[in-house]
Chain A
Amino acid sequence: MMKKILIPIILTLCLSVVALIFPAGQNTTSLYKSYKLEIDPAKPLTLDFEKARIRVLNWEEFYGTDREYVEVKVYDYLLSQKSDRYVDADTAHIKLKNFVEFKKTSDNQPFVYQMRPWISLFQFDKYKDQVVYDELAEGRDVEIFVPRNIPLNIAAEDIIAKGCLLKSAKSSTAYIKRCRVMDNFSGEGKAVQIEKSSVGKNAALKYDSVKIEAED
């Protein structure tokens, strides 16, 4: 009887040791590097991410409550050159460092697999980050969380903006949803799609293609 009980226990232990020490290729504990940045709430914020496909969300859109700071998540698994810090920032201007080049061709698209401990550990603050699966942010290179009422000047290769206050946007394509596009907004690029957003007076939409869907 004891033998029958011991065999699966020993097998499980051996398997665990092999699985834990087995060398894997690119092993990481997170898909992104996160930066929490203080900003000046009285000034418009400039987000300078010209080489990246970005998603900008207000805190409420994702977490239900607004916050006073900005968080930038750089998905560094898409970068060939690794570094300790990928952004330069002051209280009114956040930009990607010069060397940051994201992989763009589909051939380089890595296969991402996430392994997490027991989901029941979610209630403990010290394990919470280990348990949550990293979101792939709609295929973006960078994700930025901003306070709701900060006017934004955004420059990026491709923008998804949700629930933000927009002063200007410069990108190849832009998808704007539930945003407030300010008076005298200046937008530039190939295509823009605006959904469920309010568009202010004299907004200059200098795009080849403009698609606006009605506000809620």
Chain B
Amino acid sequence: MRLDNNFKRALKGLVINKLVSYKHTFVVYPLIVLGISLLGMMLTFILNRMNIPTGSVSGVLSFGITFTYIIMIILTISSSTRSEIKKRFVYPINRKVYAAGNFIILTICSFMLLAGMLAASMVEMLAAKLIAVFYPSTILVDTVTITSLLAGLWVTFSYAMLLLSVIYLINMFILRFKIRTAAILIVFGLMFIIPWWRSFTFDILSFFIFEQSVIILSIKLLLTSSIVYWIGCLPLKEMEVNI
């Protein structure tokens, strides 16, 4: 029981400490995406007033996803470097605390960043509606509903978790078994010339991308990402001893 309490206390400390260090990230990156989106909107508006034809403007919820994924990949890689892990392994944080804490941190970071994008998209929508008030010949094509916003947030988050778990797994194995991991990755890459390997890879992808239920897809993605993350934590066992 006492051990459990220690575990919980150490985990809480690790998560809060890390999240506090990321607090500016949650504000700055959605603001950057919002800034780009509003700039795009204003440029389109000005070009329109000058009778220069423009294409569709991509909103926060379209290009913001790519932006979030890139930021999260950088955070994942930076959290699984040798120096970062070394810094974390200080009593009472052992590999179990670190593995669980890192997973919780990645989960919260992904969710917070995507929630930040959602808030930014609301500002974008408000800005577009304000333009419509002052410039009456504005046409707003709006298919956003509360259901699609929430379902989209959940699906995007689930995909983010799978992506981050895979990145974590690869990064951890490269960190621990550099040459062997690189060799396996190269062999896997070269095997794409074999048709059955290509179709096998496509079958794995279609397990996710052809799913038509939001709930089942998110269960598949989150379960797979938990397993992949757990495998990614295996090299930690030996690293803890070495450090």
The judgment on whether A and B are partners is yes
A63 contacts B by Cβ under 8 Å: no
Chain B interface extent, by class: 35 or more
A98 contacts B by Cβ under 8 Å: no
Quick check: A118 and B152 within 8 Å, CB to CB?
yes
B21 contacts A by Cβ under 8 Å: no
Q: Which of B57-65, B74-82, B223-231, B233-241 contacts A (4 or more CB under 8 A)?
A: B57-65
* Interface residue from A18, A28, A127, A133 paired with B140 (Cβ < 8 Å): A28
> Which of chain B's residues has its CB closest to A106's CB?
B51
Q: Shortest beta-carbon distance, A7 to chain B, in Å? A: 12
Interface residues of A in 12-31 (CB under 8 A from B): 12, 15-16, 18-20, 22-31
Chain A residues with Cβ under 8 A from B204's Cβ? none
* Interface residue from A24, A116, A125, A129 paired with B59 (Cβ < 8 Å): A116
Quick check: A121 and B143 within 8 Å, CB to CB?
no
Quick check: B56 and A133 within 8 Å, CB to CB?
yes
Encode contact with B along A96-121: 1 for CB under 8 Å, 0 otherwise.
Answer: 00000000001011111111111111
> Which of chain B's residues has its CB closest to A1's CB?
B16
Chain A residues with Cβ under 8 A from B166's Cβ? none
Given the known interface contacts A110-B139, A124-B214, A136-B55, the answer about A117 and B145 at a Cβ–Cβ threshold of 8 Å is yes
Interface residues of B in 75-104 (CB under 8 A from A): none
Quick check: A119 and B126 within 8 Å, CB to CB?
no
Quick check: A25 and B155 within 8 Å, CB to CB?
no
Contacts across chains A and B counted by CB atoms under 8 Å: 174
Quick one: which of A12, A30, A118 has the most chain B CB within 10 A? A118
Chain B residues with Cβ under 8 A from A109's Cβ? 48, 51, 137
Q: Shortest beta-carbon distance, B185 to chain A, in Å? A: 26
Quick check: A114 and B149 within 8 Å, CB to CB?
no
> Which of chain B's residues has its CB closest to A78's CB?
B139
Quick check: A113 and B138 within 8 Å, CB to CB?
yes
A199 to B33: give the CA distance in the assembly, Å.
50
Quick check: B137 and A108 within 8 Å, CB to CB?
yes
Q: Shortest beta-carbon distance, A140 to chain B, in Å? A: 11
Quick check: A25 and B126 within 8 Å, CB to CB?
no
A129 to B58: give the CA distance in the assembly, Å.
16
A139 to B55: give the CA distance in the assembly, Å.
10
Quick check: A24 and B115 within 8 Å, CB to CB?
no
Chain B residues with Cβ under 8 A from A9's Cβ? 115
Q: Shortest beta-carbon distance, A90 to chain B, in Å? A: 31
A123 contacts B by Cβ under 8 Å: yes
A135 contacts B by Cβ under 8 Å: yes
Quick check: B61 and A26 within 8 Å, CB to CB?
no
A106 to B137: give the CA distance in the assembly, Å.
12
Chain A residues with Cβ under 8 A from B152's Cβ? 117-118, 120-121, 127
* Interface residue from A1, A12, A118, A139 paired with B119 (Cβ < 8 Å): A12
A6 contacts B by Cβ under 8 Å: no
**14 extra interface residue pairs, beta carbon distance < 8 Å, beyond A77-B139, A118-B61, A118-B149:** A16-B149, A20-B144, A22-B126, A24-B133, A29-B142, A113-B141, A114-B140, A116-B144, A117-B152, A120-B156, A121-B148, A123-B211, A131-B143, A139-B53
Chain A to chain B: the 10 pairs with minimum beta-carbon distance, closest first: A118-B152, A117-B148, A130-B143, A25-B132, A19-B122, A24-B129, A133-B56, A24-B132, A12-B119, A114-B141
In the assembled complex, 5 residue pairs joining A and B whose CB atoms fall closer than 8 Å, in A order, are A25-B137, A25-B138, A26-B132, A29-B143, A118-B148
